[in-house]
Amino acid sequence: MITYGELEALPQEANGSSASEGRHFATRRDKARRDKPVLLWLGAVHGAEVEGLTGLVNLIQVMETGVDLRGREQPTLRALGERCRLLILPCANPDGLARFQPRWTYGMDPATARYWSHGTSDDSGAQESPDPGHLRGGIAPSQSFRGCHFNDAGVDPMQDEFFGRLSSEVGAVLQIARDEAPDWAVSLHHTLYGPEVLRPAYVPIEVQTAVGGLARRYVQRLARADLPYVPPFEPGPDGGDPPPALDLVALLYHASGATAFKFVCPCGVEAPGATRVTPEQILDIHLLLQEALMEHALQLKSDSAASGPRRPANALPTSARD
Ligand SMILES: [Zn+2]
């Protein structure tokens, strides 16, 4: 993990569950006392999805030198970054990334891209994935090629067995979330479509609404830059058949109170209906997300500071709790 901005340590008097049950959430971590918003960025949780990683190493370069890896000045992004604490994990799944020989999926056909992501159990090594491992509770079946979604133990960190023994990757990410109590956390992925900020599942409606506010700001940025976008989601209840997956994004919220979401960008796989983008546009899509999220987090922080002190702990309604 690479960090920018000093740590502003906060006392923790309660875990998330008891802080909510006691109706005083700030006893978990009083994030309003920090000067800077804390933003956690996870790249390449799926090892073949290197676009977010590329965006993050460019962000590191910008924070170090003021220019991205193309040599382009990024004064706005750097100035925003200096007003935040940034926690950057360019790659949250090193095993999967190490297995990814092509280094990007740009220009691949969908079957080949699926092979590198999900692997194959076909002994002939056919680049088909009729039985993707992620359909088996996050554990890859015995495979002749294990896809890059998985760590070397066969676990997809997005869909780990969260109520069992955690993979080392998920354990480490959640430990960072607990230690740092970020205000925001994002897991960066790719898809054929997008770019899109996805609605987080199994979080309070207020968290969905906050992510939706970011999505609206981001879409405006994309439109101004003449980049493709998907209209922002509407917050709503979780349900359906099948119901949404409980994934690492929800765990990040529950572990730390962070406003957490998943982001997907187009990856240039050649498929009918896929979003057409150049590699440079993929990078711009990520740099604009970084800028929009920092700006949004800073604005929410200054709005909440302007609205004055919050209700004190002793305002607990006597009839509310047993
Ligand atoms: Zn993914």
| Mean per-residue pLDDT, 147-173 | 94
Residue 45 CA to ligand 1 centre (angstroms): 7
- The residue among 11 and 265 whose pLDDT is bigger is 265
Residue 103 CA to ligand 1 centre (angstroms): 15
Calpha distance 69→77 (Å, rounded): 14
Residue 46's nearest CA partner among 176, 146, 164 is: 146
CA 280, 247, 93, 138: dihedral to nearest 10 degrees?
-120
Residue 217 CA to ligand 1 centre (angstroms): 23
Residue 177 CA to ligand 1 centre (angstroms): 20
pLDDT of residue 263: 98
Residue 294 CA to ligand 1 centre (angstroms): 23
Residue 137 CA to ligand 1 centre (angstroms): 15
Are the beta carbons of 195 and 285 closer than 8 angstroms? yes
Cis peptide before 195 (omega within 30 of 0): yes
Residue 14 domain flag: no
Residue 233's nearest CA partner among 248, 247, 245, 216 is: 216
State the pLDDT confidence band at 307, using cuts at 50, 70 and 90.
confident
State the pLDDT confidence band at 131, using cuts at 50, 70 and 90.
very low
Residue 262 CA to ligand 1 centre (angstroms): 9
pLDDT of residue 139: 56
Are the beta carbons of 287 and 295 closer than 8 angstroms? no
DSSP string, 269-312: ---TTPPP--HHHHHHHHHHHHHHHHHHHHHHHHHHHHT-PPPP
Calpha distance 168→114 (Å, rounded): 25
Residue 8 domain flag: no
Are the beta carbons of 48 and 113 closer than 8 angstroms? yes
Q: Provide the whole-model pTM.
A: 0.91
Residue 310 domain flag: yes
CA 62, 8, 180, 44: dihedral to nearest 10 degrees?
0
State the pLDDT confidence band at 216, using cuts at 50, 70 and 90.
very high
For residue 66, pLDDT beyond 70: yes
pLDDT of residue 138: 52
Bridge partners, 67 (sequence order): 73
pLDDT of residue 313: 44
For residue 70, pLDDT beyond 90: yes
Residue 314 CA to ligand 1 centre (angstroms): 44
| Mean per-residue pLDDT, 44-56 | 98
Domain count, the chain: 1
Residue 249 CA to ligand 1 centre (angstroms): 12
Residue 271 domain flag: yes
Residue 201's nearest CA partner among 155, 166, 248 is: 248
Residue 197 CA to ligand 1 centre (angstroms): 13
pLDDT of residue 320: 41
Residue 161 domain flag: yes
Q: Could you give the count of Cα atoms lying within 13 Å of 177 in the half-sphere of its Cβ?
A: 27
Residue 321 domain flag: no
Residue 149 CA to ligand 1 centre (angstroms): 7
For residue 243, pLDDT beyond 90: yes
Residue 185 domain flag: yes
- The residue among 49 and 138 whose pLDDT is bigger is 49
* CA terminus-to-terminus distance, the chain: 42
- Return the structure tokens found at 124: 């002939």
State the pLDDT confidence band at 134, using cuts at 50, 70 and 90.
very low
Least confident of 7-11, 86-90, 128-132, 271-275: 128-132
Q: What CATH number does residue 261 fall under?
A: 3.40.630.10
Mean pLDDT of the chain: 90
Distance of CA 320 to the CA centre of its chain: 35
Residue 155 DSSP symbol: B
User: pLDDT of 29-41, one tens digit each?
Assistant: 889 999 999 999 9
Residue 157 CA to ligand 1 centre (angstroms): 10
Residue 322 domain flag: no
Residue 132 CA to ligand 1 centre (angstroms): 13
Least confident of 7-16, 21-30, 36-45, 80-89: 21-30
- Return the structure tokens found at 215: 């999505």
For residue 318, pLDDT beyond 70: no
Q: For residue 128, give every residue at least 6 positions away whose Cβ sits within 8 Å of its Cβ, in sequence order, or none.
A: 111, 114, 115, 120, 122
Residue 34 CA to ligand 1 centre (angstroms): 32
pLDDT of residue 122: 63
Q: Could you give the count of Cα atoms lying within 13 Å of 12 in the half-sphere of its Cβ?
A: 15
For residue 14, pLDDT beyond 50: yes
- Name the one residue in this structure whose structure tokens are 């933003």: 39
Residue 125 CA to ligand 1 centre (angstroms): 22
Structural domain that includes position 133? 35-315
Residue 228's nearest CA partner among 262, 168, 268 is: 268
pLDDT of residue 118: 87
Residue 178 CA to ligand 1 centre (angstroms): 23
Residue 263 CA to ligand 1 centre (angstroms): 9
Where do the H-state alpha helices sit in 105-160?
110-118
For residue 311, pLDDT beyond 60: no
- Name the one residue in this structure whose structure tokens are 């280094």: 103
Residue 169 CA to ligand 1 centre (angstroms): 15
Where do the H-state alpha helices sit in 105-167?
110-118
Q: Over pLDDT 70: what percentage of the chain?
A: 89
Please, is 274 exposed, middle or buried when counting C-beta atoms within 10 Å of its C-beta (0-12, 13-18, 19+)?
A: middle
Residue 155 CA to ligand 1 centre (angstroms): 13
pLDDT of residue 322: 45
